[in-house]
Structure 1
């Protein structure tokens, strides 16, 4: 694997790598593992009223399925990162793009699952799921559907979509300088309006997903807003850990693109740039 990387990407293609990146990958793995562990927690069961109109809407089919939403928010951005990384023959772009994407998605999922299970807010279609039995005085509907009906806050679809699409928006902006008005246009995308449209397209998809959750009676408006914010902030924070801000001209190189941050000990030292290093290293 290392031999292939050096042949394809160059002999010094791994000179930036430091053992601290291994800890980053361990942390990202923990985010996903913890989120799956939380998903098996018992859900807080709120009391409800059969006359509560906020949970009395009809049960409808999903316009955007959970599986498709998961794939679109993870594998589509990942595919673009991999394709461009190989095209640019830059293993650091591959690494930082993949790590930032998985970190943002994992963080959003963990936060969302925690609130879903601790808050236990009822979905707008909860009574349709419940199918209240007047004689037995309990819900007679499908158990799994009733359980899912107790996890309305926040919207998992929205947090998932925004976590993936906000990362993709920032990443595309870093490739095109679309949202940095002071930066020149890149050669492969000379039209600034086309670059802006391409950059905003992922957000448009995430917004569509969020709206469908209200239309499908799966979430209240507050659930969607909070879920979207969780995804947005998770993606933005994790992206900016590994990539410079696409809003500032100082982040762009002569080609009009942002370069992945050289963290810890890297080739940045050989350039006379000192960013984050371990405390025991000597700085010349």
Structure 2
């Protein structure tokens, strides 16, 4: 019923590109998320600390941007854009490849981030406020979960999440508008100027940068944590985007995703052996 509905709206050939190998692609993307989920339960390395360390003596503040909000924006905003454009173009392959690339980049960034958080165990800038050191008992007397979370400063999960989602969206917009191809006219009819289209392409990055800055302002992370977290998100999104979509910097000007397994009808190449006329062959010898 699901596939019938797709063919009814997108066309009878809308699934001709689909290859069984895509099931494996989805399996491995799911595996990335599952492993990142397991990594979030690993024990955190308990690093020694000094009560005189000024780097971890900042006050504990409420986060300006919560984890759920950051997660939702980095996931659902890109999904909304690629779904709207895919439906308008009646291109189910664009929706499929966009979703797969987005989830792959997000899952890879989350796995790397969670692994490093638990293995490094760097203390947050507000760790001592969470710790509430007891001079008599000689140990932290604060909330146990808050103390454990205070040992997960490196790298910044908010930054890696935001950049993984927003860098993907930036690359996708650049690919759809061809604004980064110097030899191709940008394909946004309602915004005909190249500079205007370029600013539109960069808008998602402003949100990601804003998220990263707030993590330092809220004393949740050191600047190195934010920088590394951002790089993890950028690299994860870029690599996974390029697996499923052509580079937005190429001069081809295509806005279609990659034909990974040579199954899309318009991209197939067939070769046939032609018969050779025996008489002509003899005469040419």
Q: Who is 1:249 aligned against?
A: 251
Alignment pair present for 1:163 and 2:164: yes
The residue matched to 1:249 in structure 2 has which SS?
A: coil
Q: Who is 2:195 aligned against?
A: 193
Residues 181 and 76 (structure 1), Cα distance of their counterparts in 2 relative to 1, 3 Å cut: same
Q: Who is 1:125 aligned against?
A: 126
Listed as ranges, the matches of 1:38-117 within 5 Å are 38-117=39-118
How far is 1:176 from its partner?
1.1
Q: Who is 1:279 aligned against?
A: none
How far is 1:184 from its partner?
0.6
For residues 231 and 110 of structure 1, the distance between their equivalents in structure 2, rounded to whole angstroms, comes to: 11
How far is 1:272 from its partner?
4.2
Contact kept in structure 2, 1:58 and 1:128, CA below 8 Å: yes
Q: Who is 1:239 aligned against?
A: 241
Listed as ranges, the matches of 1:148-159 within 5 Å are 148-159=149-160
Q: Who is 1:260 aligned against?
A: 257
Contact kept in structure 1, 2:113 and 2:232, CA below 8 Å: yes
Contact kept in structure 1, 2:130 and 2:147, CA below 8 Å: yes
Residues 32 and 180 (structure 1), Cα distance of their counterparts in 2 relative to 1, 3 Å cut: same
Higher mean C-alpha deviation, range 151-160 or range 178-187:
178-187
User: Residue deviations 1:174-233, cap 9 Å, x none?
Assistant: 111222222112124312122111100001110010011111100011100000000000
Contact kept in structure 2, 1:176 and 1:189, CA below 8 Å: no
Larger-Rg structure: 2
For residues 283 and 137 of structure 1, the distance between their equivalents in structure 2, rounded to whole angstroms, comes to: 82
Q: How many residues align?
A: 271
Q: TM-score, normalised by structure 2?
A: 0.92
Runs of 4+ in 1 over 3 A off after TM superposition: 270-274
For residues 110 and 192 of structure 2, the distance between their equivalents in structure 1, rounded to whole angstroms, comes to: 37
For residues 262 and 68 of structure 2, the distance between their equivalents in structure 1, rounded to whole angstroms, comes to: 39
Q: Who is 1:135 aligned against?
A: 136
Contact kept in structure 2, 1:163 and 1:232, CA below 8 Å: yes
Gaps of 5+ in 2: 274-285
For residues 236 and 185 of structure 2, the distance between their equivalents in structure 1, rounded to whole angstroms, comes to: 29
Gaps of 5+ in 1: 275-281
